[in-house]
Amino acid sequence: MHIEQGPVLDKASKPIGIVSGIAGPLLLSLTLKGMAGHAGSVPMPLRKDALVGAAKVVVAVNEIASQFSPAPTVGTVGTLNVFPSSRNIIPESVNMTIEFRDIDMDRRNTCESQLKDAIAEITQLHGLTYELTVDTDIKSSYCADWIKETIRASCTDLGLDAPELVSGPFHDALVMSEACDYGMIFVRCKDGISHNPLEYASYEDLALGSEVLYQTILKIVG
Does the pLDDT of residue 222 top 90, yes or no? no
Give tens-digit pLDDT for 66-86: 999 999 999 999 999 999 999
Q: Strand pairing partners for 142?
A: 21
Does the pLDDT of residue 174 top 90, yes or no? no
Does the pLDDT of residue 207 top 90, yes or no? yes
Q: Give CA–CA dist 5/196, Å, rounded.
A: 10
All structural domains of the chain: 2-22+141-221 (3.40.630.10), 24-137 (3.30.70.360)
Torsion of CA 154, 160, 163, 166, to 10 degrees: -50
Does the pLDDT of residue 218 top 90, yes or no? yes
Which pLDDT does position 170 carry in this prediction? 83
pTM: 0.90
Helix (H), strand (E) counts: the chain: 6, 9
With b for 16 or more beta-carbon neighbours within 10 A and e for fewer, the 29-43 pattern comes to ebbbbbbbbeeeebe
Which pLDDT does position 18 carry in this prediction? 98
* Local structure of residue 13 (DSSP, 8 states): T
Which pLDDT does position 175 carry in this prediction? 85
Q: In a 3-state reduction of DSSP, which class is residue 128?
A: coil
Task: Please tell me which residue, 111 or 171, carries the higher pLDDT value.
Answer: 111
- Write the Ramachandran bin of 40: left for phi over 0, alpha for psi from -120 to 50, otherwise beta: alpha
Which pLDDT does position 172 carry in this prediction? 87
Give tens-digit pLDDT for 84-117: 999 999 999 999 999 999 999 999 999 999 999 9
